[in-house]
Amino acid sequence: MTPSTKNLLVRRRILTDKKRDWYRILDDAKVDLIRFHDLRATYGTRLEEIGVPPGVCMALIGHKRNFVHDRYIRPTLPVLRAAKKTRAMRG
């Protein structure tokens, strides 16, 4: 068994402490601090941007209530510009 295979097998354990394991993963990957919450919001925003219906987005993210889901969606600048342009074209 090669060292890389052994490391892979060791890492395939059940994650029990989500916060601790998340920070360990970031540290192993040598990635600056990213909150898991931020990834969830980005995922929801990107789904909405590509036209995935809100109900499907909510199911994928695990939200049960609209008001919770709405807090996760953060329109990006290109989306805001497109909305402004569409509104201007309508008069």
Beta strands in the chain, from DSSP E residues, in sequence order:
none
Helices and strands counted in the chain (H then E)? 6, 0
Read off the DSSP letter of residue 39: H
What tokens does 33 get?
Answer: 């601090």
Q: What is the pLDDT of residues 19-41, one digit of tens each?
A: 788 788 888 888 887 777 788 88
What pTM did the predictor assign? 0.56
Task: Inform me whether the pLDDT recorded for 45 exceeds 50.
Answer: yes
The identity of residue 65, as a single letter, is R
Report whether 48 contacts 54 (CB < 8 A).
yes
CB 23 within 8 A of CB 17: no
Digit-coded pLDDT (tens) for 75-88: 778 878 888 888 77
